[in-house]
Chain A
Amino acid sequence: MKPFIALSATAAPFLHDNIDTDVIIRVERLVGLTGHGDLGPWCFEALRYLPDGSENPDFILNQEPYRKSEVLLAGANFGCGSSREGAVWAMMGMGLKAVLAPSFGQIFYNNCFQNGMLPVVLPRTSIEEIISELRPDTGMTSVTVDLERQLVVSPGGREYVFETPPLRRQALLKGLEADDLSLTLKREAAIAAHQAHDRQRRPWIYESVEVQS
Chain B
Amino acid sequence: MPGRTMFQKIWDDHVVADLGDNVFLLHIDRHILHDLGGPGGILSVKQRGLRIRNPELTFATPDHAISSARGRAGTSEVGIRLLEGLRSGTRSAGIRLFDVGEVGQGIVHVIGPELGLTLPGALLVCGDSHTCTHGGIGAMAFGIGTTELTHVLATQTLVQPRPKTMRIHLEGEMAVGVTAKDLILHLIGTVGVGGGSGYAVEYAGSAIRSMGIEERLTVCNLSIELGAKIGMIAPDEKTFAYLKGRKFAPAGELWGRATAYWRTLPSDVNAEFDREVEIQVGNVAPHVTWGTSPEQVLPVDGLIPDMADVTDVGKREAAVAALKYMGLQPGKPIIGTPVDWVFIGSCANSRLSDLRSAAEVARGRKVASSVRAWVVPGSESVKRQAEAEGLDAVFRSAGFEWREPGCSMCLAANGETVPAGQRSVSTSNRNFVGRQGPGARTHLASPATAAAAAIAGHIADVRKLGN
Contacts and interface: CB of A to CB of B under 8 A. Distances in A.
A194 B151 CA distance: 17
Contacts of A110: 144-145, 148, 160
Interface in B228-260: 228-229, 247-251, 254-255, 257-258
Contacts of B25: 184, 187, 190
A2 B127 CA distance: 24
A103 B198 contact: yes
A127 B309 CA distance: 26
Main secondary structure of the interface of A (DSSP, over half): helix
B433 A209 contact: no
Interface residues of B, number: 88
Contacts of B22: 165
Contacts of B420: 51
Contact of A208 (B23, B40, B254): B254
A198 B151 contact: no
A113 to B, nearest CB: 9
B433 A15 contact: no
A213 B119 CA distance: 17
Interface stretch (B74-82, B176-184, B278-286, B337-345): B74-82
Contacts, number: 210
Nearest to B150: A181
Given A22-B433, A26-B438, A195-B27, A203 B254 contact: yes
Contacts of B13: 198, 201-202
Contact of B227 (A80, A88, A201): A80
A119 interface: no
Contacts of B194: 17-18, 76-77, 80, 103
A30 B127 CA distance: 13
Interface of A: 15-18, 20, 22-23, 26-28, 30-34, 45-46, 51, 75-77, 80-86, 88, 103-107, 110-111, 114-115, 165-167, 179-181, 183-185, 187-188, 190-191, 194-195, 198, 201-210, 212-213
Interface of B: 13, 16-17, 19-23, 25, 27, 29, 36, 40, 48, 50, 53, 56-57, 64-65, 76, 78-79, 81-82, 96, 116-117, 119, 121-122, 127-129, 142-148, 150-151, 154-157, 159-161, 163, 193-194, 197-198, 224-225, 227-229, 247-251, 254-255, 257-258, 261, 293, 295, 314-315, 317-318, 411-413, 415, 420, 430, 432-435, 438-439
